[in-house]
């Protein structure tokens, strides 16, 4: 598409957008009596209007039925999570039995590492992206220490080449091959939180398996953002949060994927809980853990119904939108427009004031662009915030902006960058 840096052009794109009505499914924060320009879905998605309705329905079940709500009412709580599995399977490219909903992201990562990080004296190393989100770093550090290894020896972190900001797939695959004899696990984010780089998960999975290692993904920034095919890629496991691109509320419920090939593997250890017991015999309360079939066998604690009600509201919006195919097409156009306008700002001011460190190739990124500000970074970010443009700041000099196709418009993107341009004009 040939973009133009005019408000009329942005409005024309919005008028042509088949998904424009979905903005009305969400509550937009207000700034000086009008909608803020919210470009922070990579950190916390907006509230679906359905969330209050769905949450109230479960609060009413609690009020009217109390403990009988587990077995009675329109949505008996004992089976409530089953409503979430198919929409999630659609988003991550999995079979429904490979999915379950439980806990929070880092808790789930630890539970999955119990199964898929089983080091021995020969294979004990974990290969991961350098600069992964701190929670992943801390989880992995604590796991290798728990197993009696030193993090500096057991953890291989991959960083971009000197002068570059993102990892080359060839370097990831080369590192896997180089360490093949010692690798127990390859653990990557689907999308790097800082740079917005979308990794080639299919290639990483194939290479890790060739090396004899398990492979798993933290999909916090990928689920609900980009199309995924976990089953077909043959990934061993994955986990994600739901409060970013899936719009399921702060601290919202997490989910996991376990490939069906592992369901009947008695060599996989796991931490067990009553909720993961086979449901047809769960209430017999007998000793000896007999897991539920599929990913549900990794469940530990009772379903948090109120969190799941909000999650269902958000997933229903995705289902109404027809899934990720059309959303992805709009996302590529939205993010491309943001990229174009930033480059136009540089051209207009005669210098590269803003450097986009997210990959230029749309196949290697999702909604987010990470932008290095060559000067006045924090002042620019604060100016945007004061003018109703909500983004995300990362030290020392990066602004992250994420136009989300479900609720952001091309006009949002245009007006956000015009605020940025105004700052440059008044600061000269």
Scan for tokens 């994927």, then name that residue: 257
Q: Are residues 172 and 269 in the same domain?
A: yes
pLDDT tens digit sequence for 303-355: 999 999 999 999 999 999 998 999 999 999 999 999 999 999 999 998 899 99
CA–CA distance, 87 with 255 (Å, rounded to integer): 12
Cα 314 from Cα 163, distance rounded (Å): 40
For residues 283 and 328, state if they share a domain.
no
Q: What pLDDT score does 208 carry?
A: 98
Within-domain flag for 65? no
Helix 305-320 vs helix 50-65: crossing angle, to nearest 10: 140
pLDDT of residue 266: 85
Residue-wise pLDDT tens digits, 118-169:
999 999 999 999 999 999 999 999 999 999 999 999 999 999 999 999 999 9
Match 């992995």 to its residue by tokens. Answer: 140
3-state helix, strand, coil in the chain (%, to 5): 45, 15, 40
Q: What CATH number should be reported for the domain holding residue 13?
A: 3.90.1150.10
E strands, 246-286, in order:
255-258
> Is residue 318 one of the residues assigned to a domain?
no
Is the pLDDT score of 41 beyond 80?
Answer: yes
Distance (Å, whole) CA 403 – CA 16: 17
Same domain, 120 and 187: yes
Q: What is the mean pLDDT of residues 258-267?
A: 94
Contact 330, 263 (CB under 8 A): no
Residue 206: what pLDDT? 98
Kindly state the tokens that stand for 116.
């898929």
The reply to whether 263 and 409 lie within a common domain is no
pLDDT at 427 over 90: no
> Is-contact 303 77, C-beta < 8 A?
yes
| pLDDT value of position 267 | 86
Average predicted confidence (pLDDT) for the chain: 97
Residue 196 three-state SS: coil
* 99 and 145 fall within a common domain: yes
412 band by pLDDT with thresholds 50, 70 and 90: very high
Token pair listed for 367: 């909604």
Domain membership of residue 164 (yes or no) is yes
Residue 376 burial (10 A CB sphere; 0-12, 13-18, 19+): middle
Judged against a pLDDT cut of 80, whether residue 428 lies above it is answered with: no
First to last CA, the chain: 33
**Within a 13 Å sphere around the CA of 396, how many CA atoms are in the beta-carbon half?**
2
CATH of residue 98's domain is 3.40.640.10
What residues are paired with 232 via a beta bridge?
Answer: none
CA distance 80 to 224: 21
Report the percentage of the chain scoring pLDDT > 90.
98
**pLDDT for residue 380:** 97
204 within 8 A of 215, measured Cβ to Cβ: yes
307 in any annotated domain:
no
Cβ 136 vs Cβ 187: under 8 Å: yes
When comparing pLDDT for 428 and 342, which is higher?
342
User: Containing domain of residue 30, as a range?
Assistant: 7-47+323-427
Residues 168-211 have pLDDT tens digits of 999 999 999 999 999 999 999 999 999 999 999 999 999 999 99
Cα 49 to Cα 411: distance, rounded to the nearest angstrom: 22
Percent of the chain predicted with pLDDT > 70: 100
Show the tokens assigned to 237.
Answer: 């496991």
Across the range 230-235, mean pLDDT stands at: 98
* Total count of domains within the chain: 2
| Judgement on whether residues 229 and 292 belong to the same structural domain of the protein | yes
Residue 336 pLDDT: 98
CB 20 within 8 A of CB 14: yes
Distance CA 13, CA 263 (A): 47
- Asked if residue 95 and residue 212 are part of one domain, the reply reads yes
Residues 233 and 363 in one domain: no
Reported confidence tier of residue 17, pLDDT bands at 50, 70, 90: very high
Q: Could you tell me if residue 71 is inside a domain?
A: no
Tokens at 194, concatenated: 């800082």
Reported as a single tens digit per residue, the pLDDT across 276-286 is 999 999 999 99
pLDDT of residue 286: 95
């Amino acid at each position: 598409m040939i973009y133009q840096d005019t408000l009329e052009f942005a409005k024309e794109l919005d008028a042509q957008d088949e998904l424009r009505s979905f903005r009305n499914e969400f509550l937009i924060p207000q700034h000086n009596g009008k909608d803020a320009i919210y470009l922070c879905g990579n950190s916390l998605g907006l509230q679906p209007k359905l969330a209050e309705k769905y949450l109230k329905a479960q609060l009413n079940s609690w009020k009217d039925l109390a403990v009988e709500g587990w077995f009675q009412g329109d949505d008996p709580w004992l089976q409530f999570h089953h409503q979430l599995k198919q929409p999630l399977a659609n988003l991550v490219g999995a079979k429904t039995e490979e999915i379950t909903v439980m806990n929070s992201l880092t808790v789930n990562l630890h539970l999955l590492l119990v199964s898929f990080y089983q080091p021995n004296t020969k294979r004990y190393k974990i290969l991961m992206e350098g600069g992964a989100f701190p929670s992943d770093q801390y989880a992995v550090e604590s796991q290798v220490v728990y197993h009696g290894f030193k993090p500096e020896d057991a953890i291989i972190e991959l960083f971009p080449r000197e002068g570059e900001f993102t990892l080359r797939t060839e370097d990831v695959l080369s590192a896997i091959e180089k360490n093949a004899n010692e690798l127990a696990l390859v653990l990557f984010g689907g999308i790097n939180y800082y740079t917005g780089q979308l990794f080639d998960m299919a290639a990483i999975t194939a290479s890790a398996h060739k090396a004899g290692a398990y492979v798993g993904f933290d999909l916090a920034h990928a689920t609900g953002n980009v199309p995924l095919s976990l089953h077909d890629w043959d990934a061993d496991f994955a986990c994600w949060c739901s409060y970013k691109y899936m719009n399921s509320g702060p601290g919202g419920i997490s989910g996991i994927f376990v490939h069906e090939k592992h369901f009947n593997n008695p060599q996989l250890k796991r931490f067990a809980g009553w909720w993961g017991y086979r449901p047809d015999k769960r209430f017999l309360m007998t000793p000896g853990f007999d897991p539920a079939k599929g990913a549900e066998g990794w469940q530990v604690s009772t379903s948090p119904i109120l969190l799941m009600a909000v999650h269902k509201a958000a997933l229903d919006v995705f289902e109404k939108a027809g899934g990720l195919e059309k959303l992805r097409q709009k996302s590529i156009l939205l993010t491309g427009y943001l990229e174009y306008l930033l480059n136009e700002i540089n051209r207009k001011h005669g210098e590269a004031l803003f450097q986009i460190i997210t990959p230029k190739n749309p196949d290697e990124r999702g909604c987010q662009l990470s932008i290095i500000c060559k000067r006045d970074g924090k002042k620019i970010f604060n100016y945007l915030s004061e003018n109703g443009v909500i983004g995300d700041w990362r030290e020392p000099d990066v602004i992250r902006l994420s136009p989300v196709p479900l609720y952001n418009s091309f006009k949002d993107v245009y007006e956000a960058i015009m605020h940025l341009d105004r700052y440059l004009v008044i600061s000269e």
